[in-house]
Structure formats: C-alpha cells, structure tokens
C-alpha cells in the first residue's frame, strides 16, 4: 500500500468492546485483541487516540496480526444479573431494584410531574412577590403587605421556602449556616463574632456591617434599630441576620 502511494492507513487500536461483541478478522478468526481502524494518516489526529495509537510502525504491524472488526455475537446479556446467555425475563436471580429519578415540578414544587403538565396556576418568577402583578418588585409595591407571600429565610427547606412570617419573627432557632460575615465573607458567624480583625469600611463606622458592629444604633437602610433587635419597616427579611451578618438567600 505504501509503495502504491495509497493514502489510507490501517491502524491497530487498543479498544475495549462490549460483552455482546467480538473482534473478527478477514480470515474468520474470533476474539482478536485489537480493533482495525482506517485513517488518512499514520499519526493520531485527535487527543483521545494518542493513548490507543501504536508507538511505531513495527508495533502497528504486530497489532494488525491480531486485529479485527467488531461483530455482534448474537448472545443476549441479562441486564438484571449481568450474565451472558439469557435475558432479564428468564433470569433466575431475584429482580434487582432500580432507583428511578423522581421528577419535580418547578411550578408547584410537587413530585411526579413536570411544569408542562402542572395543573396549578403558572407562577411568574419575575412578578411582584407581594401582590403577584407584573411590572414591579415587592419593595416598590404600593399595596398592603401580604403575609401569605412573606418568605422566612431562617426556616426554609431545600428547594422551597416557608412563607407567612419574617425571619425576625421566626420561632425556630437561627440557622447560622446561612449567615455570612460582612468582614471575612465566611459563613456561620457575624462581624461581632468574627475572629479576624475588622478591616476597611467595616471598622468603626457602623455601615460596613449594616450598623451592628461598633455602632449598633443605625443600619444602612437609613433607619434606627430598636433595642429588641428588630429592623425598621421596609428592610428586606433576608438581611435580618443580626450582629453584622447577612442571611444568604437560597434562590
């Protein structure tokens, strides 16, 4: 082939094949070790071929002596026990339990169906969380606060939140894993409890830690904080971490 300037190269590749297949050469020999590949060059053109490619032409000739093409053995393989010779219906072993991925609806958070099949009213993710109308967000809403839509950032569970009260009114113990320190940006504590030195804008001015560091009387929202630690009206509930921390929302 090389003397005739033939531009096709036969390469013996090291490749694993499925149990239901075998490698057979042109002489009918079964169970060959290498796979014959047809290429327009003697060098690998793709990165995933470099490890399977022979190192030299001499090694390639040795591989071609025991190389073939894949052929279906026509022997079934059981998907239950993994053995050859029978299908899963005829398997003598006990049926294995296959864990199925349960589908969750992103519209109603229900299980067992997708959003396209959901019978509940579609929820607009970009509408006002207070009144449900489009065109504005909840902090710009001129309607009275609807407590049914208030999201507590303290007792929320994975993938959905508990509604009906603010985090400052939550009866459950504060989850400090959701609180981020405004000084070191680590989770689990606030500025007042931060073991690292207070640096930059967080040091002494009372604004970098939302007013809970060295100046606990005011916050960055422009209002004063009550002695009981409550936030002024209009403060987003997810900010209520206290002592210079920000409760990180999960959305």
pLDDT tens track, the chain, 251 positions: 667 777 888 999 998 888 899 999 988 999 999 999 999 988 998 888 988 999 998 999 999 999 999 999 899 999 888 899 998 889 998 888 877 788 989 888 888 899 899 998 887 777 787 777 778 887 888 888 776 666 676 676 433 444 566 667 777 777 778 788 888 888 888 888 898 888 765 555 444 444 344 443 334 433 333 344 444 455 454 445 555 555 555 54
Residue 246 pLDDT: 56
pLDDT at position 63 is: 93
108 with 118: CB under 8 angstroms?
A: yes
For the segment(s) 100-145, the CATH number from 3.40.50, 4.10.60, 2.20.28, 3.30.559 is 4.10.60
Q: Supply the pLDDT for residue 211.
A: 38
How far apart CA 226 and CA 235 sit, in angstroms, is 13
Strands 34-39 and 67-72, how do they pair? parallel
Percentage helix, strand, coil, to 5, in the chain? 15, 20, 70
Count CB atoms within 10 A of the CB of residue 10. Answer: 14
Give the domain ranges of the chain.
9-72, 100-145, 150-251
Helix (H) or strand (E) holding 58: helix 57-64
Give how far Cα 206 sits from Cα of 11, 176, 213, 220, Å.
Answer: 72, 21, 6, 8
Token pair in block for residue 161: 């939140």
Distances (CA, A) of 111 to 101, 104, 107, 151, 250: 11, 4, 11, 22, 20
pLDDT at 26: 86
Q: Given this model, what pLDDT does residue 2 score?
A: 64
Residue 59 belongs to what H/E stretch?
helix 57-64
* Cβ-contact 129, 138 below 8 angstroms: yes
Q: Token digits for 71?
A: 């052929």
The 8 Å CB, 24+ separation contacts for 218-224 are: none
b (16+ CB within 10 A) / e for 104-121: ebebbeeeeeeeeebeee
What is the rounded distance in angstroms from the CA atom of residue 144 to the CA atom of residue 207? 30
Q: Give the three-state DSSP class for 167.
A: helix
Cβ atoms within 10 Å of 181's Cβ, excluding its own: 24
């Amino acid at each position: 082939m090389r003397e005739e300037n033939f531009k096709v190269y036969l390469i013996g590749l090291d490749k694993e094949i499925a149990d239901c297949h075998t490698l057979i050469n042109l002489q009918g020999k079964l169970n060959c070790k290498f796979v014959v590949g047809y290429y327009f060059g003697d060098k690998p053109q793709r990165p995933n071929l470099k490890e399977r490619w022979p190192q030299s032409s001499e090694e390639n000739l040795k591989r071609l002596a025991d190389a073939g093409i894949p052929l279906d053995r026509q022997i079934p393989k059981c998907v239950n026990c993994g053995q050859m010779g029978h299908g899963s219906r005829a398997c003598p072993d006990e049926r294995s339990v296959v864990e199925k991925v349960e589908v969750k609806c992103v519209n109603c958070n229900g299980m067992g169906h997708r959003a396209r099949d959901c019978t509940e009213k579609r929820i607009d993710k970009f509408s006002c969380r207070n009144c449900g109308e489009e065109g504005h967000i909840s902090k710009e809403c001129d309607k009275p606060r609807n407590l049914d839509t208030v999201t507590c950032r303290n007792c929320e569970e994975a993938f959905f939140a508990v509604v009906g009260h603010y985090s400052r009114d939550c009866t459950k113990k504060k989850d400090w894993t959701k609180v981020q320190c405004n000084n070191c940006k680590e989770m689990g504590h606030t500025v007042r409890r931060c073991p690292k030195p207070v640096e930059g804008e967080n040091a002494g001015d009372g604004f970098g830690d939302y007013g809970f560091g060295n100046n606990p009387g005011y916050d960055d929202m422009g209002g004063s904080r009550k002695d009981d630690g409550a936030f002024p009206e209009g403060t987003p509930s997810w900010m209520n971490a206290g002592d210079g921390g920000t409760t990180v929302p999960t959305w």
